[in-house]
Each structure stands twice: as C-alpha cells, then as structure tokens.
Structure 1
C-alpha cells in the first residue's frame, strides 16, 4: 500500500504546478494518494492487530508517505500535529483505527444474507455469538463502554 501511494504522490509532485493552491494539492492527495493508502485499511488493522510489531512497520511506512504529502501540500519542511489539524487530516494511526472501527460497526449490523459474511466470519467468527471479540477492537463504538462495564473491565 505504501509503495503504490508513494508512487502516486511522486507522480502528482512531478506533474504538479508550483502555482497550484494548497487546497488543490490537498484534494489531489485525498482523491489519489490517500485512497491507495487506505484500501483495505480496516481489514489490515484487524488482521495484524495481534502482531503489533508488524502493524507498526506497515503503519510507519504509510505515515512516511503521509508526511511527504503534507510537506508537498503546505510546502513545510516538517509536518507537525498542527499541520495535521490545519488540514483536518488525522495521523495514519488514528485514521486506520477509525476505519477499522467503521468496518466493525458495519459487520455488527450486517444482514445475515450479505455475501460479505464470509469475510466477517474469518475476521471475527460468528458476530451474533462473539460480540465480545468485536467490540474491544473498536475503541469508538458506543457499546464499548457498556461492554466494559458488563464484563467488569472498567
């Protein structure tokens, strides 16, 4: 993912015009570069969650691409938290976690006849019986606090 996104960013930089506004560069980043980085992000985040070293390595490579994009968009030397905030772009670690949360929420509400159930079952097992396996993976899910209270993990 990081390699393809990096190549796309370099293409945009090479074809880009120095007169392009930061807004246009941001739009190009969101449309072409970030979409390549995020393809399958929710699944990847869950799939390699137990192996935190592997996940850190993947996310670090993608974060490097995002940092290069922020430098290109705003023409700053070093991207900072202020840069992320100014452009309304969360860090890769936060963004991937959020996408994993959205995927989890989608899986919880998935219709029983949905063909994507196979993928859901591979990632989580049977959702109806295994909510305890899913909710802890989703830090923003509204039921998580209730789940923690009921299981005594507060």
Structure 2
C-alpha cells in the first residue's frame, strides 16, 4: 500500500510502487479527469500538480510522490486561479474535442500561480509540450490572458 495526498485528502493505493501516478489515479482511485495521451510525457494530457508544479503523471511512479501534495483537475474549481482559468476556457470556447484540455488547464493554472502576469513568452514556455490536436492554441493563449486579468 502506498499513501498519497491527493486534492487535500490522504488515500491508500494498493499498487506496485513503480506504477505511474496516472494509472493509480485512474485505475485504483477512479479519478478519470487526468487523461492518458502518449505515455511518454510528450503530450501533456496527463498533467497534474505535484507540490504546485505541473508534472506529467504518466511517467511519475507513485513511489516518487511520497510526502508530496498531488492536485488533479478535479480540484481546479477550489480556488481563485483555478476558477478563473475554467471560466476563461468557457468564455473563449477553448475546447473542441476536449481530450487535451485537462492537461492544458493544469499547465495554465500552474503558470498563473507562479506568474500571475505572464508574457507571451511565459505562456509559450509553460504550455510547450501540451499538444492540442484541434489546434486551439490561440484560444488557449487568449484564455490564459483573460484569466490573468481576472485574478489581478
């Protein structure tokens, strides 16, 4: 058994310590908001926050999260920054197929928590590696800028 702190709650996961966090979340805990995309940390669909840092969960073994605070998309409505990003996503109609959006939102929230007034270069750097097959990158940028103004 591995003890994890997820969205402020301690849970026990009955899985091998080498199990990727993504699969512990989805298969062991039934938390399906975090998506599987590539399995190689290249697409960003599996992004969660570990101690406040946007992290690809598909390559992070649960053993590497001991003592860490894990936050998933399910908790993004719990604070001002998360709510601002979610509202901006809706306002700008960012999601098309929606598959990548949980990871996009997690990366955007991580950016705005560390840099509440990001430049275009900051946005590009923070969102690099988050692949959107529908190509809504301009809407994502606009939503991030809108969310930044909302939290100011």
Does the TM-score normalized on the shorter chain lie above 0.5? no
Higher gyration radius (CA) = 1
TM-score (norm 1): 0.29
**TM-score, normalised on structure 2?**
0.29
